[in-house]
Structures are given as C-alpha cells and as structure tokens.
Structure 1
C-alpha cells in the first residue's frame, strides 16, 4: 500500500478533475433536466413532443457513444468553445454528460410534479396565474422536495460516469489510475484499491450532502404546515 501513500498527490489531482467535471455536469443537467420536465408537462403538444423525443433518444443511447460524438464529430462540425485544448475537451465531456444525465433528471422531476395534488395547480390557475407561474411558484418547489432522494441516486451515477471522460483526453481519477499503473506495474492492486477508495469517499460526501438537503427541506415543509 506504500504506492498509495507515495502518490496521494496524483490521486488528489485525479479526484479534483472528477469533481470539476461532476460540478459543471450537475449544474447543466439540473438546468436542462428541469427545462425538459417543463416541456414534458406543458400544455403545448409541440413542447411535449420535443421533451419526449429528447428523453427517449438520450436515455437509450450509451454514454460512450454520446461522448465519442461530442469529441470526434463536434470539431468536424467546427463547434468549439475555447482555443485551449484542455478546456475544449473538458467542455465536450461536460456537454456529453449533461446531454445524457439530463434525460434521467427530467424523468425524476416529472415524477415529482405528478406527486403534487392536481387541485393546487387548478387553484393557482383559478386565481389567474399563467402556466409558467403555476410551475415556478406552486408545482416545482414541491416537486423538488419530493425528488431529492432519486436525484441523489442520479447524481451518484453521474459521479461514476465522469470516468468515461478519461477517453476524451480529460484528467480525472481513471486517468490518474492509468498513469499510476504504468509507473507501478508491480502494485496494480494497490492502485486499484486507492482509486476505489477515492470514488467511495466522493460518493459518501455526495450522499451526505443530499441527506443534509433532504432534512433541511423536510424541516421547511413541516414549518410551513405548522
């Protein structure tokens, strides 16, 4: 296990790369997933069709395929975000992760919307609130409270899916692991154990944050009822 102690800096840099990918992918997935959920429950048939097609397409397409498309095809289409190659590949990886994960976030939020009593939305419309106000003021706040646990599971899957970004020239935990295996061929098991422990620590921190958020929202809900 000495190889783990001697290369804590490499594991740290890999973990930081994973955290950066995870942060931006989470932010993008929550925004796009919420928008898609709104499309899915919209009174407009066109918006509902767009949301349904997107979810069915990306939820049933392997993440690896989406990642390969973003990394290989977007440059051919001359779709770039920066001149820095490192940031460019990171942007492609985040785009692929967001495109894939947002379809699952959408369905989780839509299920939360369905838990909100219909009478509340009807009452909001009865006092003259438009569809967007009904969603933003009445439906979505309650829906988010209901879907914190499933969203935590989706984000945990996203955390592990960042490993696919290593194939897109991004430095994260799997990239660090490969480098350490090449340098320490006689300590492969130790390197794998170190990588596994790092992922477990990140996942535990994520679930701890989700639990704190869930408890805070539960206290707010009980306080509102009181």
Structure 2
C-alpha cells in the first residue's frame, strides 16, 4: 500500500513541478512586458494593461481556471482550443497560471522600477545613454535587488496555488492524495495520503526559501 501511495504522489508531484516551472518561465518575461505596457506613455495601451491587471488581480484564480478551460468550448461556432485529456488540462492550467502570475509580477516590477531614484536615470541621460541602455544598465540591475523579497513570496505562493489546478481535474500532487480518500488504485477512505502531500510541499518550499535567501544575500552589493 505504501509503495502504491508514494508512487501516485510522486507522479502528482512531477505534474506540480511541471506546472510550477512552466508558469515561472512564462510569467516572468510576460510580467515585464505587461509592466512596460502599464507604464507606457501611450494612453490606450497603458489603460488596457492596467485594466487586464485589475481584472486578473480582482478575481479568484480558481474562477479563472474555470473560465479559461470551460468557456471557449461553450461558445457557439468556436472550437475548443484545448486538446483532449491531461495534455489539454495542463495547457489550460499553464495559460491561466502564466497570465495570473504575470499580472502580479508586473506590479512588483513596476514598484521596483519606480523605486529607483530618477536622479540616476537622469545621470544616464547626461552620459549620452539611450533609454534602453539606461533601463538595462541602470534601472534593471537596481530593480532586481528591490523585487527579490516580494518575488520570493509570490514564487512560494505559486507552488501552493498549483493545487487549484485540481478543479479542472489536472492530476497534480493534492489531487493524487485526495484520490485515495475517494477511490484510487483499489483503496478508499485513506486519509493519510492527503496529509502526506504536505510533506512534499514543505520540503520543496524549504528548498525554495533557502535558494531565494541565498540569492537575496548575493544581491546585497546593490544596497
């Protein structure tokens, strides 16, 4: 029994890790693009980006999963974009998580950029640097130091939020543990696998905390 449960939890944890890393790979650069749009001097683009951020941050992630996964297939004359089976669920969950976290990351980026003293940007202009050079060589480096603590919190939250993907039947870690409570692999009414999933979350979150803490210390030279 124990080997069966651990095997199922390991499979679920792999799915959780895949969703976690795919979200980070997509949300980190997309968040920077949304941040650029929300700070752009072109009003329509600026207000569009801010409206999207407002909607995403103002609605539950679980609701967004339902909308993105189910609604396209309910629109008459519109073909469901998600493939059948687990691959479709994973893609829909990835799109939802990337969009959600990109909006949160964009606000963290914006706060970090606005926290850099304008005098340093003006100094770059005096030296004849272009806008791009000022951003990448002056603003971005100092922004990274400022955003590491809030970004660390969001990354840790992301790992726990992956459990919400179970609402569209994506077989992630918590879903795998809960399956033994209902009926899975010939077992039913087993509660301990569900609690055992907490060990996986705690261990991986502990590793993330250590890694992000070391990153923050390495960036101390920006202080």
Residues 80 and 128 (structure 1 numbering): CA distance in 2 closer, same or farther, change over 3 Å?
farther
Residues 97-142 of structure 1 show CA distances to partners (whole Å, capped at 9, x for unaligned) of 1111111111111111122111111122333434333222221221
1:67 aligns with 65
Pair 1:186–1:92, CA change in 2 (3 A): closer
| 1:211 maps to 2:209 | no
Partner of 1:12: 10
- Which 4+ stretches in 1 moved above 6 angstroms? none
Report how many aligned residue pairs link the two structures: 217
Task: Give ranges in structure 2 of 5+ residues lacking alignment.
Answer: none
Instruction: Give 1:215 shift.
Output: 1.9
- Cα-to-partner distance string for 1:159-203 (whole Å, 9 max, x where unaligned): 111111112232111220122222444431x12220111111121
Cα distance, 1:40 vs structure 2: 2.5
Residue 185 of structure 2 corresponds to residue 187 of structure 1: no
Greater displacement, 208-217 / 40-49: 40-49
Q: Could you tell me how far 1:74 is from its partner in structure 2?
A: 3.1
Report the equivalent of 1:27. 25
Query: Structure 1 residue 17: deviation in Å?
Result: 0.7
Name the TM-score, length of structure 1 as normaliser: 0.86
Note the alpha carbon deviations across 1:32-90, whole angstroms, 9 max, x for none. 11111222333333332222112111100111111111111234543636x56422221
Deviates more, 1:55-64 or 1:72-81: 72-81
Normalised TM-score (structure 2): 0.87
1:57 equivalent in structure 2: 55
Question: Which structure: greater helix fraction?
Answer: 1
